[in-house]
Amino acid sequence: MQELITRAKELLENGTVSRVLGWKVGDMPYNPEPAFFDSADTLDNFVYNGFCGANLSKYMIEASTLEGKTLVFLKPCDTYSFNQLLHEHRVDRDKAYIIGVGCKGKLDIDMIKAQGIKGIKDIKGAEMSDACDTLTIDTIYGEKSCAYSKAMLARCHVCKGKEHKIYDELIGESKDTQDQERFAGVEYIESMTPEEKFEFFRNELSKCIRCNACRNVCPACSCRKCVFDSNKFDSAQKANVDSFEEKMFHIIRAFHVAGRCTDCGECSRVCPQGIPLHLFNRKFIKDINEFYGDFSAGETADGDRPLTSFTFEDVEPSIVSERG
Amino acid sequence: MYKIAKENLSALFRKISETMGLYLPISSAGQTNFGAWAEDADVDLTTLKTVKSAKDTFFPQSENLYTCTTEDKKITVTPEKLQEEDFVVFGMKGCDVQGIEVLDRVFLSEPVDSFYAARRNHGTIVALACNEPENSCFCNVFGIDCADPKGIADVATWDMGDFLYWNPITEKGEKLTAYLSDLFEGADDTAVDELKNSIHNIVDKLPYSDLSLEGWGGDALDEKFNSPIWEELYKPCLACGTCTFVCPTCQCYDIKDYNTGNGVQRYRCWDSCMYSDFTMMAHGNNRTSQMQRYRQRFMHKLVYYPANNDGVFSCVGCGRCVDKCPSSLNIVKVIKAFSKEAK
Amino acid sequence: MCECNCHENYNLDTLIPKVGIITGITQETPDVKTFRVNAPQGGKLFEHMPGQCAMLCAPGISEAMFSITSSPTNKEYQEFSIKKCGELTSYLHDLQVGDEITVRGPYGNNFPVDTELKGKNLLFIAGGIGLAPLRSVINYVLDNREDYGTVDILYGSRSADDLVKLEEIQTEWANAENVNVHLTIDREQEGWDGHVGFVPSYLKELNFTTDKTALVCGPPIMIKFVLQGLKELGFTNEQIYTTFELRMKCGVGKCGRCNIGSKYVCKDGPVFRFDEIEKLPDEY
């Protein structure tokens, strides 16, 4: 972490960048927050550890409108989002100085609490320099420990790999934390009967409180004004006026980010009701892979995208009904 | 003081449901929220905090106010029925109980909101002590005793392992207790007192229990409003409504129309001051930047509300925003940032 | 309907509107119409005080707050002078006599006509459609003439065609006892032999003495310079009242939008004395 701070200070002081986008130390060991740093001395509050899960790419949309370059720290999976935003001309490459930071899997405090660990005062073992295999947790009930992998965000179990897809320089080691089959969850739902599927999604989506956290955190949701915020249509409903409402919101959103979603998993990370929203997006990814060949949004900033380029080999829409 | 064996709780719920509505924490798809009891409902009294507070039971996220129909240019307004059935909210924690008290000061002050008032009149609150308050809890800072929920609660209860201890507080609580009396046996207070002590011991050790509200309150307006700290604090805010929708005291609402095809349904729904269109009204927008909106939320809870309500804060320290903010921002960090600045 | 008494609350809940019927429409200026509103069965929808406002709604279109421009001393109907400037106001401008809208209110406080303003010399300063809320006060004062001192009315608009209620001003107000009317328009215009110039500069020319209480309403920029002008003439904040723009939703101080600091414009306002405004945070 000190290496990151030192480098950030250098880049600020030599005028390469005007500000730094990273994470600021929280008031608890597990709640750092995304933050802009404008001067070298404020960087003393900079932190980077296992709890820095937030994908900073989305903040680069805003940062691209500011004067001067922004130094941004991106984890391997965050670089996919940045590339995709670059492809959509929503961020400015010339306004970004990207340091690819190492990642050994990001942590979810709720996963730690779910193991019955309560009254947490301190957590050790989540630093970048740590081996990241065991967390030692100091609680008001005494010391507890927990396997690092058991405390990871769900998305890290299907890690896309430790390679940064875009960067100006790299600092720190990464680890491929994949230990689960990426499409297993989607296949499980595909194996359900239509009634079971409907029931599954009805149960999950009826928890939705329309807080828009999934949309607002999503790097693919970069519209200047969302149709669900427009008062020109009947779509700006802030509450579910009928039982279809919340399904409509999530289904339309999933369609809108199809082919652009990099599977960064932020939607599921932030959902206060624990709705596995990434499953929608991952279903689209799986279908796109099957219909158009393997494709990973954001792997590159240039090149054709399967849903926005036409070829005569493209599947016909009837594939959906034919496939059943 | 009464007690009931926990294995008989379903009989208690059934008995309540025979003549009244019953809302209590129910687990569905992995999350616990207040919901209507049903025979097959997965009642969950062990989860410390429901995702949403119990606010819904008195101030639903969305409720119809009236329907407007037009025929031959003649408009008919049909008001929505007010709550007429008695109901019980079971298992509300001390923080949520005080949350309703905060809402009371808004909705029951002149002009009284009759939709809310009808629910308050017909609702009986059965509070449940928190056996193991958690990291993000700081209700004690607002004078709440989670070991002994009182305030506007009608009944206080304690989970004592095999038994639920039950103590009616108000007339409404006595009435409910009398109705359920066949299910109870008498109990003495000693065991409950021990539990209260052990809860207080936990509270003392929690990281936020010594949070200081010094400098906040109705008189702090200019100093807090004009502070440059807000410019720093708001930046990571994604402008989502998570904090406001899980909050027991956020009461701001929107009034909207829904065209049903044969009329216009006027409903109100929770709104979030974090949303960019929150203050967008026919005559213009009052708060145009996210900094202003962010500031509004905390100024409302810690300055404006106390200014209008005898110094009472409109935060109850439930810690839901602490647990749920996607960017790990929350009221505790705001309070701490200002205390740090003061030093 | 059930037997219980909770339905009585319907009449109490101010979020439930009444149906109002348009009983008269006057084209005041090219973009301002005055609508006369009654209860469908006749009579007024409610009683109000000068400065109060009401929510007018075209069901399914939109709803917005408008000041009530008629005086409470008018026992027959209520009037709203409305400038066409958006979705709802365009809809309202297309209405005909006999059409219905919904109305809820009255909301907010009022100019203190029965307390602080009683016995005072009054100076009304209005710009454009800003006359609407003040007209309610002016007519109230004229109908209770003996309770107040001298009355000066300074009213300006873009052009002579944009002066709202011109006929009433020239025939009724100008001829009332101890009332001076000062009209001005922004630019020279054929057929206009009155004063030309902005309201704030005319204010200074008229050089009013400070034995008056000023009631100001108009576009924010006008208010700003009028306030400056009044200060230069020696008026204090305690002598000046205004009414805020009506950016509101619920009207009852509960929905949480219109607050400036701890004051809700819809409930604690819209009428404020300037010394009260000075205490509010700068967010309006």
* Same-domain status, C159 and C191: yes
| pLDDT for residue C1 | 35
| Nearest alpha-carbon partner for B125 in B161, B79, B94, B80 | B94
CA dihedral for C113, C115, C119, C125, sign (positive or negative): negative
State whether residue C168 is helix, strand or coil. Answer: helix
Contacts of C63 in chain B (CB under 8 A): 255, 257, 282
Asked if residue C123 lies in contact with residue C213, where contact means CB atoms within 8 angstroms, the answer is: yes
Among all residues of chain A, which has the CA nearest to that of B234? A35
3-state secondary structure B98-164: HHHHHHHHHHCCCCCCHHHHHHHHHEEEEEECCCCCCCCCCHHHHCCCCCCCCCCCCEEEEEECCEE
Alpha-carbon distance B206 to nearest alpha carbon in chain A (angstroms): 7
Does ipTM exceed 0.90? yes
Distance of CA B111 to the CA centre of its chain: 21
Hey, which residues does A3 pair with through a beta bridge? Answer: none
Chain-chain contact of C281 with B226 (C-beta, under 8 angstroms)? yes
The runs of H, that is alpha helices, within chain B are 9-19, 94-107, 114-122, 171-179, 190-205, 221-225, 229-233, 242-246, 290-299, 305-308, 320-324, 331-342
Q: Is residue A78 part of a domain?
A: yes
Chain C neighbours (≥3 Cβ pairs under 8 A) are: B
Across the interface, whether the CB atoms of B286 and C246 are under 8 A apart is answered: no
Name the residue ranges covered by the structural domains of chain B. 2-205, 221-342
**Residue from C4, C6, C85, C101 to probe the interface with B (highest B Cβ count within 10 Å):** C6
- In tens digits, chain C (284 residues) has pLDDT values of 344 444 444 455 789 999 999 999 999 999 999 999 999 999 999 999 999 999 999 998 889 999 999 999 999 999 999 999 988 999 999 999 999 999 999 999 999 999 999 999 999 999 999 999 999 999 999 999 999 999 999 999 999 999 999 889 888 999 988 999 999 999 999 999 999 999 999 999 999 999 999 999 999 889 999 999 999 999 999 999 999 877 788 999 999 988 999 999 999 989 999 999 988 887 77
Percent of chain A with pLDDT over 90: 79
Residue at a domain's end among C107, C134, C155: C107
State the pLDDT at residue C10.
43
Residues A146 and A191 in one domain: no
Q: Which two tokens stand for residue C16?
A: 């439930």
Domain termination residue (choose one: C107, C142, C177) = C107
Contacts of C16 (CB under 8 A, 6+ apart): B65, B66, B77, B79, C10, C104
CATH number, domain at C23?
Answer: 2.40.30.10
- Give φ, ψ of B173 to 5 degrees: -65, -40
Q: Which residues of A touch B56 (CB under 8 A)?
A: none
A266 found inside a domain? yes
Nearest CB partner across the interface for A26, out of B30, B275, B328: B328
Same domain, A127 and A104: yes
Alpha carbons A253 and C227: distance in angstroms, whole number: 50
pLDDT of residue C12: 58
Residue B217 sits at the chain C interface (C-beta within 8 Å): no
Lookup: tokens for A265 = 């998993």
Domain final position from A144, A171, A198? A171
SS3 B337: helix
Q: State yes or no: pLDDT of A169 exceeds 60.
A: yes
Going by their DSSP bridges, the two strands C53-58 and C100-107 should be labelled as antiparallel
- State the pairing for strand pair C62-67/B280-281: unpaired
Tell whether A23 is covered by a domain: yes
The candidate with the shortest Cα–Cα distance to B328, out of A212, A37, A33, is A33
The strands making up B21-28's β-sheet, listed across from edge to edge, are B31-36, B21-28, B87-92, B123-128, B155-160, B163-168, B2-5, B185-186
Inter-chain touch B135–A120, beta carbons under 8 Å = yes
Cβ pairs A/B, distance under 8 A: 130
- Residue A167 reports pLDDT greater than 90: yes
**Higher per-residue confidence, B253 vs A230:** B253
Asked whether the whole model's pTM tops 0.90, one would answer yes
- Per-residue pLDDT band for A241 (boundaries 50, 70, 90) equals low
| C33 in a structural domain | yes
C6 min Cα distance to partner chain B (Å) = 7
Give me the average pLDDT of each 10-residue run along chain B (343 residues): 96 97 96 96 96 96 92 91 95 97 95 95 98 96 96 96 96 97 94 95 95 92 91 93 96 89 89 82 73 94 96 97 95 93 71
- The count of domains in chain C is 2
What is the residue range of A92's domain?
2-171
Asked whether residue C57 is domain-assigned, the answer is yes
* Whether A21 and A115 share a structural domain: yes
- Per the structure block, which two tokens stand in for A140? 């008001």
Contact check, Cβ <8 Å, A28/B135? yes
Q: Which position has the token pair 């994949």?
A: A178
Residue C125 in tokens:
């300063």
- A245 and A162 in one domain? no
Q: Is C262 helix (H, G, I), strand (E, B) or coil?
A: coil
Question: Does one domain contain both A235 and A140?
Answer: no
Range of the structural domain that residue C35 is part of? 5-107
Q: What domain count does chain A have?
A: 2
Tell me the pLDDT tens digit for each residue of C259-275: 999 999 999 989 999 99
Same domain, C86 and C132: no
Domain finish residue from C107, C130, C163: C107
C7 vs B82: CB contact, 8 Å cut-off?
A: yes
How many CB atoms within 10 Å of residue C47?
10
- Work out the angle between the directed axes of helices A245-257 and A194-205 (0-180°, nearest 10): 100
